[in-house]
Amino acid sequence: MLQIGILNVHLSFIRLLYVYSSESKMMEDYTFIDRLGHGSFGKVWKAKRNSDGKTLAIKEINYSSLGIKERKMFVNEVNILRKLHNPYIVRYYDHYINRSEKKIFLIMELCAGGDLQTFIRETRSKLTTIGEDQIWLTFSELALALKDCHYGPSKVLHRDIKPGNVFIDSEGHVKLGDFGLARCLNSTVDFATTCIGTPFYMSPEMNNGKYDEKSDIWALGCVVYEMAALRAPFQGFGIEDLKKHICKGDLQRFPDQYSDALWKIVSRMLDKDPAKRPTVLDILNYRNVALTVKMNKVRKELENVREKTADLMKKKQRLMRRGIRKNRIEM
């Protein structure tokens, strides 16, 4: 069975390289501006698409150095991102291959604001806090992303929701990314059965090798808790000690400056019994979340109206200038 699994990974990877990817002279299509850092599989670049000037992020991966696990994660991420189209999920555009250099280039949306982990760390170092309105906004946007994952056609479990995988765009809105560990469940499968993820955000059932959508809910609860407390909800002196505290549900309330409404929903999400945790639909129907989603929608509609009005004013000014020039010529 193990050999069959390895063969399937190889076949999926080869299919991705030779069937679904395009050979492209990358340096002609894109101008690399700056190196942003290292991602799961290699370098991440800020780049400009020459055809329209759009700024994007490009993951550069040397596929000759990828092991079986890394190849599986990469194929998984590409296949899942292809299917997910949500304003709060990092957008996948395309991928290209340079076979002579054995490199794959994954073209992604650029999130210029960095990631939530860095934002939390910087907030803590400045001895400040994150405003509750900002927490509700981030919470609601991540819930909308998770709704598409859990209730979309592919029924995707993210499996590694954490602040480092939540990215911030130039306007301060968040997007869920890094789907390398994600898994698609079909209608006949309710549980995945491998222990995978990041220890601080792993649910009690994941420590027993079992999880479903409620484990993503747990991880999202951990992220929201950390935005309020500026630390993960469960601590330990090592992995085993951390697991013990997670399984016992040793949860302390975050600072009193945050409302009971926020504490109520987060504590429900961090219930050690998965059956007692809300679904993402329950979360989106929670009064404060629903109100935040509605207000955000209204704000976006107003922004669109302002943009369209500004465009119309520019067109009007151009037409007026043309009219003035025409009158001068006729005179």
Identify whether the C-beta of residue 224 lies closer than 8 Å to the C-beta of residue 288. Answer: no
Tokens 């107003």, located at residue: 302
Distance CA 132, CA 241 (A): 31
Is 59 assigned to a binding site? Answer: yes
State how far the alpha carbon of 41 is from the alpha carbons of 74, 99, 303, in Å.
8, 17, 37
Amino acid at 202: M
Is 34 marked active-site? no
Our measurement of the distance from residue 9's CA atom to the centroid of its chain's CA atoms, rounded to an integer in Å, reads 24
Distance CA 224, CA 228 (A): 7
Residue 157, helix vs strand vs coil:
strand
Of 115, 148, 160, 212, the active-site residue reads: 160
Distance CA 271, CA 221 (A): 10
Tokens 């960095």, located at residue: 114
Neighbour-count burial for 9-30, b at 16+ CB within 10 Å, e otherwise: beebbeebbeeebeebebeebb
What positions carry a catalytic annotation? 160
Q: Which amino acids are annotated as binding site for ATP, given as ranges?
A: 59
Q: Which parts are annotated binding residues?
A: 59
